[in-house]
Amino acid sequence: MIEIRTRIAPSPTGFAHIGTAYVCLLNYAFTRKNGGKLILRVDDTDTKRHVEGAEDAIYAGLSWLGFDWDEGPDKPGGFGPYRPSEKLDIYKAKADELIKKGQAFEDEGAIRFKNTGQDQTWRDLIRGEIKFGGGEITDFVIIKSDGYPTYNFNTVVDDIDMQITHVIRGEEHISNTPRQLALYQAFGVKPPEFAHFPTLRNADHKKLSKRRDPVDLRLYREAGYLPQALVNFLGLLGWSHPDGKEVFDLAEFVEKFDLNRVSHAGPIFDTKKLDWLNGLYIRSTSDVELVKMLNERSTYNVSEEMAALIRERISKLSEADSLLDFFVNQPVVGRDLFEGVEKSSLHVTTALHVLSNIKDWNLENINSALTKLIEEKGFKTGDFYMTMRLVLTGKRMTPPINESMVILGQDEVLQRLEEAQKILIDIEPSEIS
């Protein structure tokens, strides 16, 4: 049995994007599922659009998501080079071979393939039979005047050289397939199997675009999406788990993957579900893991206790900062902050008294002291804690406030209460008894 060999062939013209990740995911799953080899080829045939560092961005992006490949520019195997720019002479020789056979011709410094006019048909592994009339294929350029091969040419030559058995790519390549098929015929080589999955769309139902849409993988990393969540989400687009599961990791995706379950319609890349999944993955991390992730992106030190308080309150790591900020920065507390909160001045004064009497500063003692205070004074629980919240954090939506007090420490809590008292005492003097 022939070993399955697949490839992904991103071009180094920018950054690694969602589309690259998606192609990789499907090829990776198909290949790992079937015990084959995944090849990464960096299609650098466009000298004009070549971007410095783009290749590293591709490695970084795909590695971040948990993918690995068996051969590539960074991992030479026996089928290189893995960059077209390093085998220009081979393309030239192949083109000359076609010229000799009368299947190509020179044209203003370039070399064009001579269309045979034959119909081209293939059985797509995802879509079934697809047929193009021979008249659709023109005499297309295979070697540009700068000596570089065009995409269609390098793809065929390289896929032959690399012994690719399955080409799994986006549907935007369907119309390129007949040209490539014609090339395989000209070389007398049996073409690989083709599988064209749907392309991801944006909210306007248009193909995801580098220009218009936020597709740079780094953007997702910076926003605090976990790679597992992104991979899981991508796995939900254009594919469905046979058991209807929505949450699964890469290993399970590989295990269950089947081209037959790949849908034909283009899914919209709507991040709402991604956010939900990301929250799910964040909630499933341990304190240690979460702290590590948080500190990688934080300017101050996040403790395990702090992380534990926000775990269920964020869906992206980037949301942590606004929730944790008050721990390190004293909030600006003004009187307008307390609008609508009854008796806040009294809350502060009494709390100050009770809290300063706590000998052993821990959650249990804070809880019981404040519960007792609320009961004795007949405070509305919600109002009382809202006052504490505002005084200590300057915000109305915060982590649990008593737990936060423990982390803040007694001195800091008392100090913030005293500050607030100065502001509030003038406002509601009548309420001070």
Any contact of residue 81 with RNA (CB under 7 A)? no
Among 7, 201, 221, 416, binds RNA (CB under 7 A): 201
**CA-wise closest residue to 264 among 242, 239, 245:** 239
Among 171, 193, 216, 342, binds RNA (CB under 7 A): 171
Inter-helix orientation angle 88-100/151-161, to 10°: 100
Any contact of residue 131 with RNA (CB under 7 A)? yes
Any contact of residue 286 with RNA (CB under 7 A)? no
**CA-wise closest residue to 233 among 217, 250, 208, 213:** 250
What number of CA atoms fall less than 13 Å from residue 183's CA on the CB side? 27
Among 145, 301, 318, 322, binds RNA (CB under 7 A): 145
Any contact of residue 130 with RNA (CB under 7 A)? yes
Q: Tell me the residue ranges of DSSP E strands in 144-232.
A: 166-170, 193-197
Q: How far apart are CA 268 and CA 340, in angstroms?
A: 43
Of 364-403, binders to RNA (CB under 7 A) are 367, 381-382, 385-386, 388-389, 396-402
- Per-residue buried b or exposed e for 39-58, using 16+ beta carbons within 10 Å of the residue's own CB: bbbbbbbbeeeeeeebbebb
Output phi, psi for 82, to 5 deg. Answer: -105, 15
Region of 67-75, 185-193, 274-282, 325-333 interacting with RNA (CB under 7 A)? 274-282
Any contact of residue 237 with RNA (CB under 7 A)? yes
Among 18, 29, 125, 141, binds RNA (CB under 7 A): 141
Of 293-352, binders to RNA (CB under 7 A) are 312-313
Any contact of residue 88 with RNA (CB under 7 A)? no
Minimum Å gap between C-beta 197 and RNA is: 9
Minimum Å gap between C-beta 289 and RNA is: 17
Q: How far are the Cα atoms of 207, 214, 278, 352 from residue 203, in angstroms, in the given order?
A: 10, 12, 20, 53
Choice between 50 and 425, CB closer to RNA: 50
Any contact of residue 212 with RNA (CB under 7 A)? no
Residues in the chain: 433
Region of 65-73, 86-94, 137-145, 353-361 interacting with RNA (CB under 7 A)? 137-145
